[in-house]
């Protein structure tokens, strides 16, 4: 199954930073040109993989629609994690902290993986303070509201399992969106030769497996899901939902912002896939009311892409 998945298309993932390359950095951009598979896979494997993904996407759509899983109107509201006015301040704080971390002077290094990993650690140092503030506010609000909570709490292990299951459900939809965007690129005369559609994965895939590789891989697989889910789902989506009362409207808008913020580090076909992924992240957050679910889904997606990228030559 892993070979089938690998042969079937491009590998994408979410960025582990504030989604902007550091000033002056020379991140490897996935090349474009004549279309190839990029994996040397035989035609039958490509067709088989395409069929598997199409079948998976069709099954996911049937389950979401027929079972009514897409409906959120009957899902009880979460206990608010913060005062409404604090939402925009927290989101702006995440942006400012990210820019500040990306601007911190760091020693010049010839090892690109080490340099990128240090930049991420600098970014997360600032954003971690905002994340900690958010978690403290969330804990205090839930403690005060616990006697009158109307929504049953989903325990963390169940939320994590739900997130992993949601990743399996959503994966073929992400691949399908990315594949459709790739066909549009080809019609326009631009097609990717590299099966890896994200700069950070390209950097990891072209580097030796040393200590800095591990640091950057952990940032991709664990740091990014935590920071980005707090920023986009926990803060932005929560704020918009409370302002508008429209859950899917909030999910779509935040997903668009999430995708646009990755435009500097991923190809257009990957951006389309990341938009669909973000829809799933917002959906599972609303369904469970737990960030643990969207974090687990995000982490599972990134780990899966890193695993596939490591098999790409």
Sequence spans of domains, the chain: 40-69, 155-310
User: What proportions of the chain, in percent to the nearest 5, are helix, strand and coil?
Assistant: 70, 5, 30
DSSP state of 223: I
Tell me the average pLDDT of the chain.
Answer: 83
- Mean pLDDT computed over 89-96: 96
Contact 32, 191 (CB under 8 A): yes
pLDDT class of 10 with cuts at 50, 70, 90: low
Q: Within a 13 Å sphere around the CA of 134, how many CA atoms are in the beta-carbon half?
A: 27
pLDDT of residue 230: 97
Contact 167, 300 (CB under 8 A): yes
The share of the chain scoring above pLDDT 70, in percent, equals 80
Distance, CA of 188 to chain centre: 27
- Which of residues 29 and 237 earns the better pLDDT score? 237
Tokens 């899966």, located at residue: 304
pLDDT class of 221 with cuts at 50, 70, 90: very high
- Mean pLDDT computed over 262-269: 87
- Which of residues 280 and 13 earns the better pLDDT score? 280
43-52, 259-268, 276-285, 304-313: lowest mean pLDDT where?
A: 43-52
- Mean pLDDT computed over 12-21: 42
Residue 281, C-beta contacts closer than 8 angstroms, at least 6 positions apart: 229, 232, 233, 255, 258, 294, 297, 298
pLDDT class of 109 with cuts at 50, 70, 90: confident
DSSP state of 219: I
Is the confidence at residue 217, as pLDDT, over 80?
yes
- Which of residues 43 and 285 earns the better pLDDT score? 285
41-55, 136-150, 205-219, 249-263: lowest mean pLDDT where?
A: 136-150
24-28, 80-84, 117-121, 159-163: lowest mean pLDDT where?
A: 24-28
pLDDT class of 213 with cuts at 50, 70, 90: very high
Number of C-beta neighbours around residue 278 at 10 A:
27
pLDDT of residue 2: 39
Tokens 């079948």, located at residue: 55
- Which of residues 166 and 268 earns the better pLDDT score? 166
DSSP state of 146: G
Residue 199, C-beta contacts closer than 8 angstroms, at least 6 positions apart: 21, 27, 28, 29, 30, 265, 266
pLDDT class of 150 with cuts at 50, 70, 90: low
Helix (H/G/I), strand (E/B), else coil: 57: helix
Dmax of the chain from CA atoms? 62
Number of C-beta neighbours around residue 217 at 10 A:
22
Encoding tokens for residue 21? 């390359």
Is the confidence at residue 31, as pLDDT, over 60?
no
Residue 299, C-beta contacts closer than 8 angstroms, at least 6 positions apart: 163, 221, 222, 225
- Mean pLDDT computed over 199-205: 85
Q: Residue 290 to residues 22, 79, 176: CA-CA distances in angstroms? A: 32, 11, 27
Encoding tokens for residue 244? 């508008």
Is the confidence at residue 169, as pLDDT, over 80?
yes
Residue 206, C-beta contacts closer than 8 angstroms, at least 6 positions apart: 28
Dist. CA 84–CA 68, nearest whole Å: 30
pLDDT of residue 195: 74
- Mean pLDDT computed over 302-311: 89
């Amino acid at each position: 199954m892993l070979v089938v998945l690998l042969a079937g298309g491009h590998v994408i993932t979410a960025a582990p930073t504030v989604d902007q390359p550091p000033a002056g950095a020379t991140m490897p951009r996935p090349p474009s040109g004549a279309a190839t598979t990029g994996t040397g896979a035989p035609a039958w494997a490509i067709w088989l993989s395409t069929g598997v993904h199409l079948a998976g996407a069709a099954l996911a759509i049937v389950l979401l629609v027929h079972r009514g899983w897409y409906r959120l109107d009957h899902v009880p509201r979460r206990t608010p994690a913060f005062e409404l006015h604090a939402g925009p301040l927290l989101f702006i704080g995440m942006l400012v902290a990210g820019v500040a971390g990306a601007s911190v002077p760091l020693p010049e290094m010839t090892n690109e993986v080490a340099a990128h990993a240090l930049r991420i650690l600098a970014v997360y140092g600032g954003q971690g303070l905002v994340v900690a503030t958010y978690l403290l506010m969330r804990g205090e609000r839930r403690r005060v509201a616990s006697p009158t909570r109307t929504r049953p709490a989903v325990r963390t292990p169940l939320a994590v399992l739900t997130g992993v299951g949601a990743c399996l459900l959503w994966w073929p939809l992400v691949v399908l969106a990315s594949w459709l965007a790739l066909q549009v690129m080809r019609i326009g005369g631009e097609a990717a030769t590299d099966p890896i559609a994200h700069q950070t994965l390209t950097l990891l895939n072209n580097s030796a497996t040393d200590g800095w590789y591990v640091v950057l891989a952990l940032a991709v697989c664990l740091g990014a899901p935590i920071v980005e889910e707090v920023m986009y789902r926990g803060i932005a989506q929560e704020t918009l939902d409370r302002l508008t009362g429209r859950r899917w409207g909030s999910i779509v808008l935040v997903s668009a912002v999430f995708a646009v913020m990755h435009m500097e580090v991923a190809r257009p076909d990957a951006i389309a896939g990341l938009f669909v992924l973000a829809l799933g992240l917002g959906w599972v957050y609303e369904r469970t009311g737990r960030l643990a679910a969207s974090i687990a889904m995000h982490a599972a997606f990134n780990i899966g892409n890193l695993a596939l990228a490591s098999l790409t030559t």
